[in-house]
Each structure stands twice: as C-alpha cells, then as structure tokens.
Structure 1
Amino acid sequence: MVDQFPQALSIAGSDSGGGAGMQADLKTIQERHVFATTVLVAITAQNTLGVKDAFPLPTKIIDEQFAALDEDLQIKACKTGMLADVTRVKAVVANLKKYDFGPLTLDPVMIAKGGAPLLSEDAVIVVRDELLPLATIVTPNLPEAEKLTGQTINTTDDMQMAAKKLQNMGVQNVIIKGGHFENDNQSSDFVLLSNGRSFWLSAPRVNTANTHGTGDTLSACITAELAKGNSVEQAIKISKQFVDATIRDGIKVGHGHGPLNHWAYRKVEANAEV
C-alpha cells in the first residue's frame, strides 16, 4: 500500500545561491512537514548579487521527470516557478495536462524585484493563455500582474480590478502581492477566491534587503498546505504568516539581496503552543 504522507511538487529552476527557486521551495515545503519532489526545468548560476548564467534543460529530461513521479508517488499539490523560456513553458503545460498532481499554484516568475524581465514575451503569452487556466491559484507581484492583465496598477483599487481580470482569464483564485508599493508602511496583499470572497492580508513592512525568494517561498508554502488538505484560504493565510516570519526574523548570508530565514516560523508555532 502506498504511503499517503502528504507529497508536493516544485516545477522550477535551480538557484545555486540557495535563496530562491527550487532550493527555496524545498526548504519551505520541508518546513511545512510535507515531502517535496521536483521537476527541474533550468539551472542557474547565481548568488545574492545576481544571476550570472542560466541553462534550460532539454524537454526530454523534463518529460521523463514528470513520468517518473507519476509512476511512483502520490503528489497532492504542485507549483511552478521559473520556467526559463517558451519551449520549457510549453513542455510543462503539456505534462500538467497529462498528469494529475493536484491543485496547481502558479508563481508567474516574469519580472525581478528590480524590474528586469525574467521571461521572454512569447513565453509570457503561453503562461497567460495556456498555463494560467490550469492553475488553482496564481500569485503575481504587481509588475507580473500588470504584465498578465495589460493594465497599470497604481492603487489598491487597481489591484482589485486586476485580480478580477485574472480570474476572468481562467484561474480560480488570485493573490496579488503588494510588496512593490514602496511608500506603504504595510505590505498588503489582495486575495480573491473562487467563491467571490475577497480580503486583504497585511503585515508591517520590515526594513531589510534580505528578501530574496519571497515569491517562491509564499507559493511553495501554499502548495504544501494544499497538499495537506487545507483550503485555499487557509493555505494563503498560513503562507502569509510564514513569509512574514522568515523576513522579520532574518539572517545575513552573502553580500547582496540575502535569503529568507526559512526556519523562523518554528518559533511562531512554538510560542502559539505555549
């Protein structure tokens, strides 16, 4: 009999610096007491100072990773992160249509914090038109939400309008991350659920440069919670608390944009049990 221990899948690129990408996903999923599996799409050479080089993997090995997981494991939820280019995006879409790995959390890794594009225009179109409708939840930051919807987001009303547009494009649930509103003392995310319920999640902004991998960590935490059977709303709320803890109780690694403290939420849970 197959062990029913909760299992989740990260479909993403490798970050040699360990702060983002698949490495952040693995650390987060493990911290949430879920077994993490992977489909590696690309390899990057990077550190806290930036990306030095990247190598997308052949689609044959991507296909074979999906097939191997489907043959043996009981994956209950999955997520996508950095998908490299249009060829890799299409390969992932084809495999997600072929195999049932539970609810999909789409982290549309398109634009870096500094505004640099991480995905070509043709790949963005495939994400929007083919991958987005497969997703249970999408987790864009403000520039990514702008890219997907084609609208400018300057206000909280704009965020709500963009969320509705994304939902109309086929995704069931939306969380738009408001971290790019730099003049706000709060980091506020807008959530729109498939049942029409909407709400804001806010946390005091922390003055730190060590926020590399926040998007990966949030989406990975949501994926882990869904794999455990939690509702989308529960998964989002837990994940917001998890990410807030990783930033607030920070660590210093490297000389640039440092990583999160992925074990910080243990203290939050320990204090809650006292």
Structure 2
Amino acid sequence: MYDDELADIADAAAAQVELIDKRLPAYLIHAAMAGAYIGLAIVLVFVFGTSLLGTPFEPLTGIVMAATFGLALSLVLIAGSELFTGNAMIMGVGALEGATDWFDLGRVWTYSWIGNLFGSVLVAGMAAYGGVFADSTLVASVGATKMTLTPLELFIQAVFCNWLVVLAVWCNFRLENAVAKLVMVWWCLLAFIGAGFEHSVANMTVLTLANLLPHSTAAVSWGGWLYNISIVTVGNAFAGVVMMGAAYWYINESYKLELPSGSPATPNFSSADDD
C-alpha cells in the first residue's frame, strides 16, 4: 500500500545516520541551513505582517503571514537540508522499518535540533541587529502570547502543527511533480500558520527576535523562550512519530496480512504521481 514511500523515508533516515557517522560537522551545517531557511521565512512573514499594521489591510495580516510562510518548508525540501520536525517522522519510520534503530533516532533528533537552533538564532540575530524591524510591536505581541500559553495548550498546538508539517513532508515522498509538492507544502503551512499552531524551529527565530528587539512586554523573556521551545519540541516529536510515521507504518503492515480465502483483492494505493 505505502511500501514505496516508507522505503524511501527509511532510506532517507539511514542516509542521515551515515552522514553523522562519517562527517558530523557536515550534518550540523546541513541542519543549520534548515534553521536558517525557516528563520528567513519567519523574518519575511513578520516584515509583511508589520507593514500592514495601522493600514486598512490590517484585518488581512493573518492570512498574508500564513500565505507567505510556505517559503520555509519549500526551501527545506527543494534546496535540501535537515529539519528536526520533519525528522520526527523520518527517523520514526526508519526505526520501525528496521533501516535504523531508536538510538539513531535520538542522535539524529539531537543533532538536527542543535543545527536548526544555530541557523535560526543566527538569522534572528542578523535581522535584529541589521535594522530589518523598525517596529517590533507584532513580534513582541506574538512572542508574548507564545510564552504565556499553558503547557497543555502548547503541547496540543505543537501536535497539530507538526501533524500538518509532516503531512507536507509525507506528500513530498508521494508526489513526483515538483509543482504538486510545492502546492501541498503551501496548503499545509497555510493551515498551521493561519491557525497559530506551535512549531519549535520557527519559534526559535520568533522568540529570539522577541527577546532581541526593543520591547516593553514583561511576558517576553529568555525563560519564556526555554519554556515554549521545550514543550513544543516534545509535541512536535510526538506528532511526527505517532500521528504520522507510526500510523502509516501500521496501516501499511496491516495490508500485508494474508487475506482470508475469498476476500476481495487488496486495493492498490500506490504513490501519487502527478507527471
């Protein structure tokens, strides 16, 4: 049913482990690129959003920001880099398929998260000290909201977020046509940004900007940064492994069971191909 997709994802998981074993610095740079790509999209999103404040188009701020963020995952998938939230599913599938193991999952998650953090903070610092934001009102407001949600709210919104993000990654493995891949990335990220869900790597940039830019919001702090990122990271990982990776793996394994005599043939749900 999903043999081809799961095999491709398992191969991608094994390739990451191999690169870590052979050239860890190269892997960290690859992961830093993903953090930077997400960070660049976050900067663009908030520049656009800030420019609409106080104008007749201010009610459209949310949809404009959501429609813009598709750049982030598009760059990660098309240009190539290692994103922690995508690896939540990829490494889970790799372990379930036997291409890697659970220790490898922990290593890849750790190194991709560290690399993502470096790239995200680098972009946030460059934007903050490069004069990109003359008005930090929107960044501080969003940052304060993210830092004051309850743990349960953060966890649930993180699950929703990475469910959508990893759906885009899953579709990337199912589709052949590059345009179709980008369309699915755009739709999935539009949903997660539009709903205001929590993405650990995106928040690395947002919350760093909120702390570095001038603000008068008491809720914004480095302690709030750590509070948000720690819980959201767990929620993102849970969604990638359980809601997507394990779910599709279990469905696929179930279709491999021998059907009773006289049962209808197993339907063919091969990879979507938009050629």
Per the normalisation by structure 1, the TM-score is 0.26
Task: Name which one, 1 or 2, has greater alpha-carbon Rg.
Answer: 2
Higher relative contact order (CA 8 A, sep 6+): 2
Query: Which structure shows the bigger proportion of residues in strand conformation?
Result: 1
Per the normalisation by structure 2, the TM-score is 0.26
